[in-house]
């Protein structure tokens, strides 16, 4: 009984690292995928949700029996709903019809109360992001809830330092590049920081939607890659996070998601597809024998209604 876990939160992290077999760079480089779909809700956001709540518990921002509020495209909300259900906190989520219905259903089943902000034709835009943030701010002010405020919350970065250590150990330090899409920028920032502490030569590539290339200095726009591309330069982003920025379109990300399913047996969301597109580009740049790690951000089971 030594492997018996105290509760489901102890099952977060320590996910597998998998080499892609058929989706490969032409020069023989390796693409390794960190399978964050193995976390309890099927998403890497379980790590950051737990980190934000535990940090608030530790410093008194969140007391026993308290309530939590957040704005989210879905995965962070599902992860917070899991953590709050286990720890006994009520949760109020601001989300939108722009995001997958499965995520909204999952949050509700775990006990979250939802407020839906209408979108423009089901697309992610800067206005939608800002409207959701403002709605969450008002709820927190009126109810006295703890607002996790993921776009500004630095407590989550420590969760990704841990993920970087897992990657370093799993590759035995043989890693030349790391690729991750940018939502709040916390996962790219935290993982990149920790990997660079191990080896400052590791090349870090950020991924953003081609339709809204704001990190690259382009115009804000609308896209359909869930969980990334807020439409403006997010607060946790800074120019030194990444060595380069790769722009991937919704169409490219969606096509790669289908390839992952049909060629590798990996059913992922579109952000994962974007990651793999960018990882293949980086592999070609770094040359033969390079090892590139990227993230399977979540499971495609969260997006079945969009297929």
Residues 233, 293, 190, 140, CA torsion sign = positive
34 is catalytic: no
Query: Count of alpha carbons within 13 Å of 183, Cβ hemisphere only?
Result: 27
Q: Check: CB of residue 293 under 8 Å from CB of residue 175.
A: yes
User: Distance (Å, rounded) from C-alpha 213 to C-alpha 232?
Assistant: 9
Report the Cα–Cα distance between both ends of the chain, in Å, rounded: 41
Instruction: Give bridge partners of residue 167 from the DSSP assignment.
Output: none
Active-site residue (options: 79, 254, 271, 302): 271
Residue among 45, 103, 224, 302 flagged as catalytic: 45
| Residue-wise DSSP of 28-79 | --EEEEEEGGGSTTSBTHHHHHHHHHHHHHHHTSS-TT-EEEEE-SSHHHHH
Q: Looking at residue 263, what DSSP letter applies? A: I
- Active site annotation includes 212: no
Task: Tell me the catalytic residues.
Answer: 45, 271
């Amino acid at each position: 009984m030594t492997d018996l876990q105290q509760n489901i939160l102890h099952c977060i992290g320590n996910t597998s690292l998998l080499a892609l077999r058929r989706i490969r760079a032409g020069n023989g480089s390796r693409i390794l995928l960190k399978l964050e779909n193995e976390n309890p809700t099927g998403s890497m956001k379980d790590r950051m949700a737990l980190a934000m709540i535990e940090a608030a518990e530790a410093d008194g921002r969140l007391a026993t029996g308290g309530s939590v509020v957040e704005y989210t495209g879905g995965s962070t909300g599902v992860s917070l709903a899991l953590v709050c259900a286990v720890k006994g906190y009520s949760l109020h989520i601001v989300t939108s019809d722009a995001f997958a219905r499965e995520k909204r259903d999952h949050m509700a089943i775990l006990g979250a109360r939802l407020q839906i902000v209408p979108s423009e034709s089901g697309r992610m835009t800067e206005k939608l992001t800002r409207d959701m943030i403002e709605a969450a701010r008002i709820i927190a002010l009126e109810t006295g809830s703890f607002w996790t405020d993921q776009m500004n919350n630095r407590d989550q970065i420590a969760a990704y330092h841990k993920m970087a250590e897992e990657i370093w150990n799993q590759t035995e330090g043989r890693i030349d590049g790391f690729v991750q899409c940018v939502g709040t920028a916390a996962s790219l920032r935290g993982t990149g920081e920790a990997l660079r502490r191990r080896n400052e030569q590791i090349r870090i590539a950020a991924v953003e939607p081609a339709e809204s290339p704001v990190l690259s200095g382009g115009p804000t726009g609308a896209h359909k890659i869930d969980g990334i591309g807020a439409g403006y330069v997010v607060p946790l982003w800074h120019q030194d996070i990444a060595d380069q920025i790769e722009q991937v379109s919704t169409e490219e990300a969606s096509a790669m998601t289908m390839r992952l399913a049909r060629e590798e047996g990996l059913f992922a969301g579109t952000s994962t597809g974007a990651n793999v597109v960018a990882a293949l580009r980086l592999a070609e740049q770094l040359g033969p024998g390079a090892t590139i790690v990227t993230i399977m951000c979540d499971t495609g089971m969260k997006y079945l209604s969009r297929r």
